[in-house]
Amino acid sequence: MNQSIGFIGGGNMAEAIIGGLRKTDKDIQIRVTNRANHERIQRLVDKYSIKASEFQELVENSRVLVIAVKPKDVREVLKHLKNYTLQDKLIISIAAGIPLKVFHKYLPDVAVIRAMPNTSTAVLHSMTGLVREETITQAQAETATEIFSAIGRILWIPEEKMNALIALSGSGPAYFYLFTESLIQAGVQLGLREEEAELLARETLIGAGKMLTESDKSPARLREEVTSPNGTTFAALSVFNEDKLAQIVMKAAQACARRAEDMEGEYSE
Ligand SMILES: NC(=O)c1ccc[n+]([C@@H]2O[C@H](COP(=O)([O-])OP(=O)(O)OC[C@H]3O[C@@H](n4cnc5c(N)ncnc54)[C@H](OP(=O)(O)O)[C@@H]3O)[C@@H](O)[C@H]2O)c1
């Protein structure tokens, strides 16, 4: 991939993607701009060998523009972008809750792809959802595929599934962090030192994650294989079932998807 990518917004998510791309062997020219925090940009420049740019220089010299600002700031960025010729560019927006129609309103005839990576980008394990519309060319879709495949796995979906995707992979890392935190607390309650509990909980999550990736068995099958009738795991899983963990997860995912929908409503005008 011989690309020039300009990040509009140099916050947490931009850094996760830049960090991920820099861990690959891809030769990519990366520029970044933000609104006011020059110290932050300087830190990114020093850490990732990227170029700090003014908005205009970035837009004119990048073939791919990644919009990585908060959803509330997207409109302001689009107003700036309106002043440029963007016909030969690909815009990739990672902003949650901003549908493609908003981009079209400001930038008709410009190629836009929505991407929803997650924070595991920084360790090259993002699960990224990608949305394209019919006018996106094969070459443009391949560019997005290449960028996000370099930092994890991708799934192309129709836009109407985006909020469901956010409820799984977008916000999902935090669910597993919360579960890990709870397991650490349980370990301490059971008499372990905090660092002992943390090591056990973290490594167990990583091992289970690797099993899920590397085994061709379903999650249910893997669970059944480690659950002997009336054994120790069985005792723990019975509590999860009695207290309806599946329903709690369902409610949480629904709340997440609903919030994404609300945000679409808030930012679509
Ligand atoms: N966190 C996640 O897991 C996740 C996953 C997928 C997608 N996202 C999406 O990623 C986007 C960025 O989130 P974040 O957590 O990285 O936000 P963040 O850390 O707050 O960073 C936002 C960046 O945007 C810059 N910015 C704001 N207005 C700007 C403008 N008009 N022109 C240029 N730069 C501007 C800010 O610059 P200053 O600091 O100078 O103001 C800052 O560098 C959000 O839309 C979010 O929905 C997040």
Report CA(170)–ligand 1 centroid distance (Å): 15
Closest to 146 in 3D by CA, of 17, 10, 12: 17
The tokens describing 121, both together, are 């980008």
Q: Whose CA is nearest to atom 20 of ligand 1?
A: 11
Is the distance from the beta carbon of residue 17 to the nearest atom of ligand 1 less than 6 Å? no
Tell me, using a 6 A CB cutoff, whether residue 26 lines ligand 1. no
And the tokens for 60? 């004119």
Query: For ligand 1, is residue 32 a contact (CB within 6 Å)?
Result: no
Residues forming CATH 1.10.3730.10 domain(s) in the chain: 172-261
Q: CB of 9 closer than 6 A to ligand 1? A: yes
Whether 36 lines ligand 1, by a CB cut-off of 6 Å, is: yes
Q: Is the dihedral of CA 3, 34, 108, 261 positive or negative?
A: positive
What does the alpha-carbon distance between residue 269 and residue 265 come to, in Å, rounded to a whole number? 7
Specify the pLDDT at position 269.
65
For the chain, give the number of residues: 269
Rounded to the nearest whole angstrom, what is the distance from the C-alpha of residue 18 to the centroid of ligand 1? 13
Q: Rounded CA gap, 107 and 133, in Å?
A: 14
- C-alpha to C-alpha distances, 169 to 10, 72, 119, 252, nearest whole angstrom: 22, 22, 10, 13
Q: Would you call 28 helix, strand, or coil by DSSP? A: strand
CA-nearest of 115, 173, 112 to 148 is 115
From-to residues of CATH 3.40.50.720 in the chain: 2-162
**pLDDT value of position 148:** 93
DSSP H or E segment with residue 42: helix 38-48
Which residue's CA lies nearest to atom 5 of ligand 1?
A: 118
Q: Which CATH class is domain 172-261?
A: mainly alpha
Find out whether 129 and 115 touch, Cβ atoms under 8 Å.
yes
Cβ atoms 104, 158 nearer than 8 A: no
Pocket of ligand 1 contains residue 49 by CB under 6 Å? no
What pLDDT score was predicted for residue 118?
94
Superfamily of structural domain 2-162: NAD(P)-binding Rossmann-like Domain (3.40.50.720)
Q: Residue 198: phi, psi to the nearest 5?
A: -65, -45
Q: How far is the CA of 229 from the centre of ligand 1 (A)?
A: 49
Tokens standing for residue 44: 């990114």
Quick one: which atom of ligand 1 is closest to the CA of 34? 34
Is any atom of ligand 1 closer than 6 Å to the C-beta of 119?
yes
- 26 within 8 A of 60, measured Cβ to Cβ: no
Please tell me if the CB atom of residue 12 comes closer than 6 angstroms to any atom of ligand 1: yes
Closest CA to 154 of 135, 138, 131: 131
**pLDDT tens, residue order, the chain (269 aa):** 558 999 999 998 899 899 888 888 788 999 999 999 889 999 999 999 999 999 999 999 999 999 999 999 999 999 999 999 999 999 999 998 899 999 999 999 899 999 999 989 888 899 999 999 888 999 999 999 999 998 899 999 999 999 999 999 999 999 999 999 999 999 999 999 999 999 999 999 999 999 999 999 999 999 999 999 999 999 999 999 999 999 999 999 999 999 999 988 887 76
Q: Tell whether ligand 1 has an atom less than 6 A from the beta carbon of residue 67.
A: no
Per-residue pLDDT at 1 = 55
pLDDT of residue 136: 94
What per-residue confidence (pLDDT) applies to 2? Answer: 59
Question: 40-70 burial, b for 16+ CB within 10 Å, e for fewer?
Answer: ebeebbeeeebbbbebeebbeebebbbbbbe
The SS3 assignment for 186 reads helix
At 207, list the tokens.
Answer: 């091992």
pTM summary value? 0.91
